Amino acid sequence: MQETSNGTTAIQKKAKEDRYQYHDYYGIDELLSEEHLLARGAVRDWVKSEVSPVIEEYAERAECPRHLFKGLAEIGAFGPSLPEKYGCGGMDEIAYGIIMQELERGDSGIRSMASVQGSLVMYPIYRFGSEEQKMHYLPKLASGEYIGCFGLTEPDHGSNPGGMITNVKDDGDAYILNGAKMWITNSPVADIAVVWAKNEEGKILGMIVEKGMKGLSAPEIHGKWSLRASITGELIFEDVRVPKKNVLPNVVGLKGPLSCLSKARYGIAWGAIGAALDCYDTALRYSQERIQFGKPIGGFQLTQKKLAEMITEITKAQLLAWRLGTLANVGKATPAQISMAKRNNVYTALTVAREARQILGGMGITNEYPIMRHMMNLETVLTYEGTHDIHLLITGMDVTGINAFK
Ligand code: TGC
Ligand code: FAD
Positions in the chain whose pLDDT score sits under 70: 1-8, 11-22
Per the annotation, the verdict on 102 as an active-site residue is: no
Atom of ligand 2 nearest to the CA of 152: 25
Q: Where in the chain is the domain with CATH 2.40.110.10?
A: 148-246
CATH class in words for 13-142 = mainly alpha
Ligand 1: nearest atom to the Cα of 262 = 15
CATH 1.10.540.10, the chain: domain bounds: 13-142
What's the confidence (pLDDT) of residue 9? 73
pLDDT number for residue 79 = 97
CATH 1.20.140.10 maps onto the chain at: 255-400
Of the residues 56, 93, 102, 385, only one is catalytic, namely 385
- State residue 16's pLDDT score: 60
Q: What residue ranges line ligand 1, CB within 6 angstroms?
A: 112, 115-116, 150, 152-153, 159, 161-162, 185, 253-255, 258-259, 261-262, 264, 335, 384-386, 390, 394, 405
CATH superfamily, domain 148-246, is: Butyryl-CoA Dehydrogenase, subunit A, domain 2 (2.40.110.10)
Question: In this predicted structure, what is the pLDDT of residue 342?
Answer: 98
Residue 236: the pLDDT is 98
The fold for domain 255-400 equals Butyryl-CoA Dehydrogenase, subunit A; domain 3 (1.20.140)
Measured by CA distance, the residue closest to atom 34 of ligand 2 is 380
Q: What's residue 10's pLDDT? A: 75
Looking at residue 159, its pLDDT comes to 98
Query: Which ligand approaches the C-alpha of residue 383 most closely?
Result: 2
pLDDT in tens, 248-264: 999 999 999 999 999 99
Q: Decide whether any atom of ligand 2 lies within 6 Å of the 221 Cβ.
A: no
Ligand 2 nearest-atom number relative to CA 385: 43
Ligand nearest to the CA of 107: 1
pLDDT for residue 192: 98
What is the structure's pLDDT at 17? 62
Nearest one of 144, 139, 148 to 86, comparing CA atoms: 139
For residue 97, the CA-to-ligand 1 centroid distance in Å is: 21
Decide the pairing of beta strands 216-217 and 232-243.
Answer: antiparallel
